[in-house]
Structure 1
Amino acid sequence: MSNDPIDPQVYDLYDEYCHSDMSRRSFLSRAAALTLAAGSGLIMAQSLLPRYAEAETISFTDNRIKANYVHYDSPGGTSGKMRGYLVQPSGDGPFPAVVVIHENRGLNPYIEDVARRLAVAGFLALAPDGLSPVGGYPGNDDDGKQLQASLDQGKLFTDMLNSAYFVKRHALSTGKLGTTGFCYGGGVVNQLAVTMGGDLNAAAPFYGRPANSQDVPAIQAPLVIHFAEDDPRINAMSADYKAALTANNKDFAMYQYQGTRHGFHNDSTPRFNQQQADLAWERTLDLFQQQLT
């Protein structure tokens, strides 16, 4: 990362912006105030904001998939109802299922694209929108982040759990279920592995908060766990997670990807690392192929 045109101070500020109640205006203002040898902090900060249209890899009109929004019950969740983006491979099925858990800002276009990638790979993919009970993803990450933070987090997790069972029991599903998620969603994936036990067949969290060590014995699904190299907030918790998984003889692989920062799989910002994201995704698909098909 020594040749990275974005100063580490700006990356650190962006991480704080993404994971706190800092507004976009404050983020840009604070970046502009930085004294940097390599250039303007404001320009660097602006370049980190997501550009979803430029990052799409699978079109929603791709003839290899069928995509639509579905509504389903979610007892005990935020409102008792949920909405998700369901993408199936072309054909009649049934297909192994994967639930894709978004970051801390709702169902944005990047996560929808991930669901389409899974469908192209042969999986029935559901990407639930945790914000749907309160109006849905608002069209931008800044408002989405604030809206998600305002929710009862226990009810939000229940909505994600109900979403996992919805796609697992869907008429197009074989009943085999995997899950992947990013940042907040990675933490949810770890908790789904605890909560669902044998009902979950594979889990691939990306730079998410680990499960509590005392809860690890409940995990039955094989795990492929992805961490960034430069991600002190999350990595500080990884050693205890690895120790607990090892002590309880769990089936897992844990990877830290060199030259990466938190969010390295997200191809809508400069944090994206093509080589390492491809490797992590290949390992994720290998897990799902082995455990779900």
Structure 2
Amino acid sequence: MPDQTITEFPTLTQGEIDRRVFELYDEYCHGRIDRRTFFQQAAVVALGGLAMAQALMPRYASAQTISFTDSRIKARYVNYPSPGGTSGQMRGYLVQPSGAGPFPAVLVIHENRGLNPYIEDVARRAAVEGFVALAPDGLFPVGGYPGNDDDGRTLQAGLDQAKLRTDMVNSARFLKAHALSTGKLGATGFCWGGSTTNFLAVALGADLQAAVPFYGAAAETASVPKIKAPLLIQYAEKDERINAMWPAYEAALKANEVAYEAYFYPGTQHGFHNNSTPRYNEAAARLAWERTVGFFRKNLA
């Protein structure tokens, strides 16, 4: 794992952070403004806004829920071919339950900044629940997750996005065919990873048995007929850009008789599952994860 730069920022709860600062943070997270601009504008829009902005920076060390040495799992990094991707090779974090297997498989797809410690922790959480999980690092062809989200976001934005998605398709196929896998494949992801989970549902068709996108952009309406996997779609209540896509997506899912469940979690922000920042909503994240695990158990059995 890359070294993490530890910076001490003020600790504030979600309720102590002005909504306008959350909105600026969303702009920053999605690469529409840089870190300096985020801090500068936060200081202007709200009294104490700079402290609020600083409090939103991720704290990965304190957010770990499953140790990488947990006796219930076995974890390692693996390399595999990725024809048509960024470089033809990929690397991912493979985590299995202790035991011989095989196990139902779950692909865990990162946000727009590479394979950071939060996503690795989610892969371990999946393994504790009985799945073999692979969390691919889309930044591997350009050196891997660099140890901080700002540089990771810049690196990911600079990639050929079609090739990056090809790397995710190849990662899914690698996991599905792995000796530890039963061949039953699910996928989940967050933010960019949620969008990519929707994309994989289209691209993989019947090769995917279940998909759980968290606050991700909807699949293209014209491509929805290709979706064969049941979907469990997780949304934050306060996420205007992503939620605006839902009516058309839902209409297309219904028109094409795609099995789906969709949940909007009251009082939540985009990123509510990520427990490294104050956008995290513990109750909603727990419920969403319980639903995710149950959905995978049902559809990957």
TM value normalised by structure 1 = 0.97
Identity of matched residues, %: 67
Output the aligned Cα RMSD.
1.1
Alpha-carbon distance, 1:171 to partner: 0.7
- Verify: 1:48 aligned to 2:59, yes or no: no
Alpha-carbon distance, 1:138 to partner: 0.4
SS of 2:15's equivalent?
Answer: coil
Alpha-carbon distance, 1:21 to partner: 4.4
Alpha-carbon distance, 1:142 to partner: 0.4
Q: Which residue of 2 aligns with 1:5?
A: 16
Q: Kindly indicate whether the alpha-carbon contact (under 8 Å) linking 2:21 and 2:46 is maintained by their aligned counterparts in 1.
A: no
Of 189, 199, 212, the residue aligned with 1:181 is 189
CA gap of 1:86–1:263, structure 2 versus 1, over 3 A, is same
Q: Which residue of 2 aligns with 1:158?
A: 166
Alignment partners' CA distance in 2, 1:138 and 1:249: 42
Q: Which residue of 2 aligns with 1:226?
A: 234
Counterpart residue type for residue 104 of structure 2: P
Alpha-carbon distance, 1:98 to partner: 0.5
Q: Which residue of 2 aligns with 1:215?
A: 223
Q: Kindly indicate whether the alpha-carbon contact (under 8 Å) linking 1:21 and 1:146 is maintained by their aligned counterparts in 2.
A: no
Q: Which residue of 1 aligns with 2:74?
A: 66
Alignment partners' CA distance in 1, 2:237 and 2:292: 18
Of 242, 249, 252, the residue aligned with 2:257 is 249
Please list every run of 5 or more consecutive structure 1 residues that lacks an aligned counterpart in the other structure.
none
SS of 1:33's equivalent?
Answer: helix
Q: Kindly indicate whether the alpha-carbon contact (under 8 Å) linking 2:18 and 2:46 is maintained by their aligned counterparts in 1.
A: no
- Verify: 1:23 aligned to 2:31, yes or no: no
| Residue pairs, 1:113-152, within 5 angstroms | 113-152=121-160
Alignment partners' CA distance in 2, 1:21 and 1:107: 20
Alignment partners' CA distance in 2, 1:35 and 1:223: 39
- Verify: 1:276 aligned to 2:284, yes or no: yes
Alignment partners' CA distance in 2, 1:286 and 1:108: 25
SS of 1:107's equivalent?
Answer: coil
SS of 1:4's equivalent?
Answer: helix
Q: Which residue of 2 aligns with 1:14?
A: 25
Question: Deviation digits for residues 206-248 of structure 1, max 9, x if unmatched?
Answer: 0000001111111000100001000001001011111110111
Q: Which residue of 2 aligns with 1:32?
A: 43
TM value normalised by structure 2 = 0.94
Alpha-carbon distance, 1:33 to partner: 2.4
Flag as ranges the 4+ runs of structure 1 deviating above 6 A. Answer: none
Alignment partners' CA distance in 2, 1:26 and 1:148: 20
Alignment partners' CA distance in 1, 2:269 and 2:176: 32
Question: Deviation digits for residues 41-70 of structure 1, max 9, x if unmatched?
Answer: 000000001000000000000000000000
Counterpart residue type for residue 210 of structure 1: A
Alignment partners' CA distance in 2, 1:272 and 1:21: 21
Q: Kindly indicate whether the alpha-carbon contact (under 8 Å) linking 2:107 and 2:187 is maintained by their aligned counterparts in 1.
A: yes
Alignment partners' CA distance in 2, 1:132 and 1:32: 35
Q: Kindly indicate whether the alpha-carbon contact (under 8 Å) linking 1:77 and 1:155 is maintained by their aligned counterparts in 2.
A: yes
Query: Alignment length, in residue pairs?
Result: 289
SS of 1:228's equivalent?
Answer: strand
Q: Which residue of 2 aligns with 1:196?
A: 204
- Verify: 1:79 aligned to 2:87, yes or no: yes
Question: Deviation digits for residues 244-287 of structure 1, max 9, x if unmatched?
Answer: 10111111001111010100000000000011111111111111
| Residue pairs, 1:230-241, within 5 angstroms | 230-241=238-249
Alpha-carbon distance, 1:187 to partner: 0.4
Please list every run of 5 or more consecutive structure 2 residues that lacks an aligned counterpart in the other structure.
1-13
